[in-house]
Amino acid sequence: MSVDRLLVSHPDTSCEAVHRLAAQVSRPGPTALTLRYALGGDLKRLRIPPEGASHRADKLWQHTCFEAFVAAKGAAGYVEFNFAPSTQWAAYGFSAYRAGMTPAELAHPPRLGVRREHDLLVLEANLDLDTLPIMRASAVLRLALSAVIEDAQGRLSYWALRHPPGKPDFHHADGFVLTLTDAAAPSMGD
């Protein structure tokens, strides 16, 4: 079962070239997660890195990338995933809010697929979370889905299911609004 949700831009960082940004998430198995981001708009007015060989890379958030933050229900720690249209990716573990950042060790790298059409960019990420501590902590996951979009002038806009008050902050607990269990459909809220 999967669910679609719209991401909204942070009120201080709009981007007229983006007409719609949606995320779809599903949990096809107890330790599997599939994320699909669909960016609709005037792609010629955005900086979208060309697709290349998939590999781990840092600082993807400095340019166009799609993100997911995954935590076990009730836990302070979480894992941040970044996926670029280039098929570069990153995964970081945090022990608490922005604390204890370390590269997350995955049994298998994310399987990324990118499709680009005239006015649509779709990125799909398939994750195996089996080796992550969050999977041992709870069968219920909390997610924050987000994106950073860079326009042709190099300006960044920040998109999320929900933004906390103040400046853009994808790590903030208020953004973890999607709940997934391995036996039920995703839902908003805890």
Per the structure block, which two tokens stand in for 111? Answer: 């399987």
Q: Identify whether the C-beta of residue 165 lies closer than 8 Å to the C-beta of residue 155.
A: no
Q: Identify whether the C-beta of residue 67 lies closer than 8 Å to the C-beta of residue 145.
A: yes
Architecture of domain 2-188: Sandwich (2.60)
Q: Is the pTM of this model over 0.85?
A: yes
- Domain boundaries in the chain? 2-188
Backbone angles phi, psi at 169, to 5 degrees: -155, 95
Q: What is the C-alpha to C-alpha distance for residues 54 and 36, in angstroms, rounded to an integer?
A: 17
Q: Quickly count helices (H) and strands (E) in the chain.
A: 1, 14
Q: What is the C-alpha to C-alpha distance for residues 15 and 45, in angstroms, rounded to an integer?
A: 10
- How is residue 168 annotated by DSSP? -
DSSP string, 100-147: S-EEPP-SS--EEEEEE-SSEEEEEEEEE-TTSHHHHH-S-EEEEEEE
Q: Could you read off the pLDDT tens digit of each residue along the chain, which spans 190 residues?
A: 577 899 999 999 999 999 999 999 998 888 889 999 999 999 999 999 999 999 999 999 999 999 999 998 888 999 999 999 999 999 999 999 999 999 999 989 999 999 999 899 999 999 998 888 777 656 789 999 999 999 999 999 999 999 999 999 999 999 999 998 874 444 555 4
Per the structure block, which two tokens stand in for 159? Answer: 């998109």
Q: How far is residue 105 from each of residues 109, 116, 134, measured CA to CA in Å? A: 9, 30, 12
What is the C-alpha R_g of the chain? 15
